[in-house]
């Protein structure tokens, strides 16, 4: 296993936790010893934060690897992976660090484990600067399952900023290989639905106001569809702390899914939260792609590992996506081509095709 260490510069491109997630996941999968330097070098609080640390420790544990330099504030780690094993794996950010980001780093790895896995992830379920767990279940899950695997995501407890305290249990079985995907036909929008939630001490009226404001905003642009956004009061025994937020999803005739979401903050009125989510959704529907801006980068690692050529049509390619492509090429030696879409209907839009020749990763255990 211990070949030449692969050197990763954690300060380039996205320059944050994402580089760490992509490079450690690929290191674990490919059995590549890794050194990451300049971790989050340009951030206001440089180095590892608690949520990054819990992700690294989880990857270490799920392959019995060796990890050095892993402490809060550290800007350099080395990681030596071993064999990926199934079973129960726990990660706890001890903060409102996102359970969805923990899932992002661990999921590709356990797909290539020797036996089924259960990931017990603790932290924030609906937190800033990360996908909300509702996004993961309602958008990421149905699309990523097109690569030829299934997973089950059980939200035991919701947790919000600043305390966290949420818990999600993800169960999945390993695969022999991943199938490539082809998401290039957007189809037309057939339904729009969502949920506006309040938890803890926040009044139910806040959920209703977020939903109503979002519906009004969408109606201005899309008049012929019923927009069904359910206001929800999270049950006391299923939510830790106080929070409010909204996620709105658009579904198309070809099964594409797009989302807009927003979280409430102290002093921000409910209408504004609803409108922000609606505007995000509408922006994601304008560019003509088949995935929204948040799904783009999450699919890259799966495309890189798949057996064959994958294609997705996107709006403007995000920095997160460029970063994921860079490291998938550097570490996994997958080949990506990003080009402007040549379809007639995309001529006036900022639409791209991301194509990948995957490496056809095979599970050695199956």
> CA-to-CA distance for 202 and 211, rounded, in angstroms?
15
The 3-state DSSP class for residue 151 equals: strand
> CA-to-CA distance for 112 and 106, rounded, in angstroms?
11
**What is the per-residue burial (b if ≥16 Cβ within 10 Å, else e) of 102-120?**
bbbbbbbbbbbbbeebbbb
What are the C-alpha distances in Å from 186 to residues 46, 164, 193, 201, 279? 40, 36, 18, 41, 19
Task: Find where tokens 């937020």 sit.
Answer: 245
295 is in an annotated binding site: yes
4 is in an annotated binding site: no
352 is in an annotated binding site: no
294 is in an annotated binding site: yes
Residue 247 φ/ψ, nearest 5 degrees: -135, 135
Q: CB atoms < 10 A from the CB of 226, how many?
A: 8
357 is in an annotated binding site: no
Q: CB atoms < 10 A from the CB of 3, how many?
A: 8
> CA-to-CA distance for 202 and 245, rounded, in angstroms?
11
52, 287, 320, 326: the catalytic one is 320
- Report CA torsion sign: 233, 209, 215, 250: negative
The 3-state DSSP class for residue 20 equals: helix
Are the C-beta atoms of residues 194 and 249 closer than 8 Å to each other? yes
53 is in an annotated binding site: no
Catalytic residue at 320? yes
Locate 270 and state its tokens: 């409910």
Annotated binding-site positions for ATP: 104, 294-298
What amino acid positions are annotated as catalytic residues? 320
Annotated binding-site positions: 104, 294-298
């Amino acid at each position: 296993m211990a070949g030449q260490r692969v050197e990763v510069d954690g300060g380039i491109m996205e320059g944050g936790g994402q580089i760490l997630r992509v490079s450690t996941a690929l290191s674990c999968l490919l059995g590549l010893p890794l050194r990451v330097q300049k971790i989050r070098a340009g951030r206001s609080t440089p180095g590892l934060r608690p949520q990054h640390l819990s992700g690294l420790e989880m990857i270490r544990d799920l392959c019995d690897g060796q990890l050095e330099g892993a402490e809060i504030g550290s800007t350099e780690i080395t990681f030596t992976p071993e064999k990926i094993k199934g079973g129960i794996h726990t990660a706890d950010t001890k903060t409102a660090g996102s359970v969805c980001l923990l899932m992002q780093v661990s999921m590709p790895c356990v797909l290539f484990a020797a036996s089924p896995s259960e990931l017990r992830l603790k932290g924030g379920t609906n937190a800033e600067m990360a996908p909300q767990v509702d996004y993961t279940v309602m958008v990421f899950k149905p699309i990523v399952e097109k690569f030829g695997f299934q997973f089950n995501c059980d939200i035991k407890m919701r947790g919000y900023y600043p305390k966290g305290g949420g818990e999600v249990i993800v169960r999945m079985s390993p695969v022999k290989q991943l199938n490539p995907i082809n998401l290039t036909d957007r189809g037309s929008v057939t339904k729009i639905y969502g949920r506006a939630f309040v938890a803890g001490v926040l009044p139910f009226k806040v959920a209703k106001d977020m939903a109503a404001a979002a519906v009004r905003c969408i109606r201005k642009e899309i008049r012929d569809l019923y927009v069904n956004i359910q206001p929800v009061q999270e049950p006391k025994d299923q939510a830790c702390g106080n929070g409010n937020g909204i996620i709105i999803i658009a579904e198309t005739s070809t099964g594409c899914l797009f989302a807009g979401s927003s979280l409430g903050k102290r002093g921000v009125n409910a209408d504004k939260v609803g409108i922000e989510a609606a505007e995000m959704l509408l922006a994601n529907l304008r560019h003509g792609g088949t995935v929204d801006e948040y799904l783009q980068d999450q699919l890259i690692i799966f495309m890189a590992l798949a057996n064959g050529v994958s294609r997705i049509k996107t709006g403007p390619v995000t920095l997160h996506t460029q970063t994921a492509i860079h490291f998938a090429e550097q570490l996994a030696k997958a080949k990506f081509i990003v080009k402007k879409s040549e379809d007639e209907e995309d001529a006036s839009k900022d639409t791209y095709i991301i194509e990948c020749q995957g490496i056809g990763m095979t599970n050695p255990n199956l």
